[in-house]
Amino acid sequence: MDDTLETLAGLLRAARSIVAFTGAGISTESGVPDFRSPGSPWTANRPIPFDLYMASAEARAEAWRRKFVMDDLYRDARPGRGHDALARLHARGRLRAVITQNIDDLHHRSGLPPEAIIELHGNGTYARCLSCDLRHEIDWVRRRFEVSGVPPACRDCGGIVKSATISFGQPMPEDAMQRAFGALVDCDLFLAIGSSLVVQPAARLPLIAQRQGTKLVILNREATPLDDAAHLVVRGEIGPVLDAVVKAVD
Ligand code: NAD
């Protein structure tokens, strides 16, 4: 391992309470594209903002069409080395929680227990009624949409059904935000992994942690706006880096 990774391994060994904050970059190794890398299919299938989704049946139909295109691209995605390394760190009692901006369910599939996962932007592997909150499976929505050309209403109350993700313009989930702030209490090492750190309000969390005296480590393949605030910046590929440093603290 080079000096930077030795330093990171040392920080992991010395920490009492570690929180990881993950973005789309941890899942690219699994074949799930991130937003901002060149040629991303998210550009052609941009998520529809919340106000448009609520305002127009046409926008809702388009949102589902785009979602199904993206789902077909990464339906079979499996956790990568980064997800697995964080699950190992948690299993050894070193990682308190993973706060994730991702909607791809891969932290769950890596074996991290649900109580250690805080999904700030929801989860795209199921849907919910926006009126009564009833869970609907994506396959159920898709079958009905493909037969009728119209996204189905809630099977219980007739409300608008939406993928259980937080769209641009949609209020943040209060419960997840509360849990995220709770995880920061007593956290002495905050690992920001694979995020461009520009999507607000999620990207404020690393800065809030840093300002309360927590050591901030940023692991990303390109620069972020918070690099100057970080105790350590690791510029590299998430899978190999996390795999190596977590093995080194085992
Ligand atoms: P982002 O796309 O803005 O940034 C990802 C960052 O990760 C980039 O800076 C990129 O250079 C870096 N990166 C990509 N692969 C990497 C690798 N293998 N090793 C090291 N660095 C790598 O992602 P974001 O900050 O999470 O914000 C995007 C928003 O879009 C979030 O709100 C998220 O909900 C959503 N989103 C989620 C997914 C997902 O669930 N997997 C995918 C795309 C977008």
Q: Give the catalytic positions in this structure.
A: 121
Query: What was the pLDDT predicted at 221?
Result: 96
Query: What was the pLDDT predicted at 241?
Result: 98
Nearest Cα neighbor of 214 from 180, 186, 195, 194 is 186
Pocket test for ligand 1, best of 35, 66, 191, 234 (most atoms within 8 A of CB): 35
Q: What is the CA radius of gyration of the chain?
A: 19
Residue whose tokens read 């809030």: 208
- For the chain, 250 residues long, the average pLDDT of each consecutive 10-residue run is 94 97 97 83 85 96 94 92 98 96 97 98 97 97 96 97 96 96 96 95 93 97 97 98 94
Give distance in angstroms: CA of 8 to centre of ligand 1.
21
Query: What was the pLDDT predicted at 117?
Result: 98
Give distance in angstroms: CA of 240 to centre of ligand 1.
17
Q: Which residues line ligand 1 (CB under 6 A)?
A: 23-25, 27-29, 32, 34-37, 42, 101-104, 121, 194-196, 199, 220-222, 237-238
Q: Give the other-Cβ count within 10 Å of 132's Cβ.
A: 11
